């Protein structure tokens, strides 16, 4: 394994000399998709819990479609299906966008994580303590300020454990990027396997890299939970007199 990593380690971690590959591409896909999905899912979650069906129903439909179909199928639709449409090929921007495996992969990842994150945040919003809302209204908060200073910050803190799982799942989901010929960690591992015929070593290195990123993400979320969910942790009574 060490010899293979010495020879192909640069491709696994950074570049093949011409393009970014491996770990760099995987992290790029993960960070961009999670950040965009997070930002878009907050207003969608607010609409999802709305009492007005004209707002809630479209968001529910979007969430149902992207949570109810495999990400692999979504990626194939965007990468190989959409480009077969005549109006896509005849439109300059759409032709440029859907011709790129990077952008098709990113689009699939963003929409998929946005659907799951919207439901996570919507559930957390529904669990907001009624007392918090009543207290804010008593102080004269408008609906806008109520959501963005009380409900959403409170909901995001409660949603953090579930959201951390979603981020880990998105890391795993980036491994489908090889389908669109994007040179992520798994694509490099497949190429190394084809060149060396050492399957255990080639994919073992990929597994170690995914594990490393997962442990790093878990550690970061644990630190965030200790900081922002400190009020939910049990009190330490070990130093109190009997």
Lowest mean pLDDT among 57-71, 79-93, 140-154, 197-211: 140-154
Residue 43, pLDDT score = 95
The whole-chain average pLDDT of the chain stands at 91
For residue 121, being part of any structural domain is answered with: yes
Give domain status of residue 68, yes or no.
Answer: yes
User: Is residue 102 a part of any domain in this protein?
Assistant: yes
Domain that holds residue 168: 20-182
Tell me the per-residue pLDDT of 73-131, one tens digit each, with 9 for 90 and over: 999 999 999 999 999 999 999 999 999 999 999 999 999 999 999 999 999 999 988 88
Domain-embedded: residue 149: yes
In a domain, 192, yes or no: no
Partners of residue 20 on adjacent β-strands? 15
pLDDT band at 67 (very low <50, low <70, confident <90, very high): very high
Q: Could you tell me if residue 100 is inside a domain?
A: yes
Domain count, the chain: 1
| Rounded (10°) angle between helices 23-48 and 101-126 | 40
CA distance 151 to 172: 31
**Residue 175 counted as domain residue:** yes
* CATH code where residue 63 lies: 1.10.3720.10
Q: At residue 75, what are phi and psi to the nearest 5 degrees?
A: -65, -40
**239 domain residue, yes or no:** no
């Amino acid at each position: 394994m060490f010899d293979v990593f010495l020879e192909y380690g640069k491709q696994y971690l950074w570049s093949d000399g011409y393009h970014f590959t491996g770990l760099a591409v995987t992290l790029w896909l993960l960070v961009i998709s999670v950040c965009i999905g997070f930002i878009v899912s907050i207003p969608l979650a607010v609409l999802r819990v709305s009492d007005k069906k004209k707002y809630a129903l479209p968001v529910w439909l979007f969430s149902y479609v992207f949570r109810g179909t495999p990400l692999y199928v979504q990626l194939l639709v965007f990468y190989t299906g959409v480009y077969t449409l005549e109006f896509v090929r005849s439109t300059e921007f759409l032709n440029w966008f859907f011709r790129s495996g990077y952008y098709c992969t990113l689009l699939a990842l963003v929409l998929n994580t946005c659907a799951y994150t919207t439901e996570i945040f919507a559930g957390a919003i529904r669990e907001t303590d009624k007392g918090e809302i009543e207290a804010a209204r008593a102080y004269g908060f408008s609906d806008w300020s109520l959501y963005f200073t009380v409900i959403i910050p409170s909901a995001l803190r409660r949603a953090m454990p579930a959201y951390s799982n979603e981020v880990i799942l998105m890391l795993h989901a980036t491994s489908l990027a090889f389908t669109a010929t994007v040179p992520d960690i798994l694509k490099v591992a497949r190429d190394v396997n084809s060149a060396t015929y050492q399957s255990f070593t080639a994919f073992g290195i990929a597994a170690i890299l995914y594990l490393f990123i997962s442990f790093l993400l878990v550690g970061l979320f644990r630190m965030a939970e200790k900081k922002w969910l400190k009020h939910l942790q049990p009190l330490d009574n070990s130093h109190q007199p009997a």
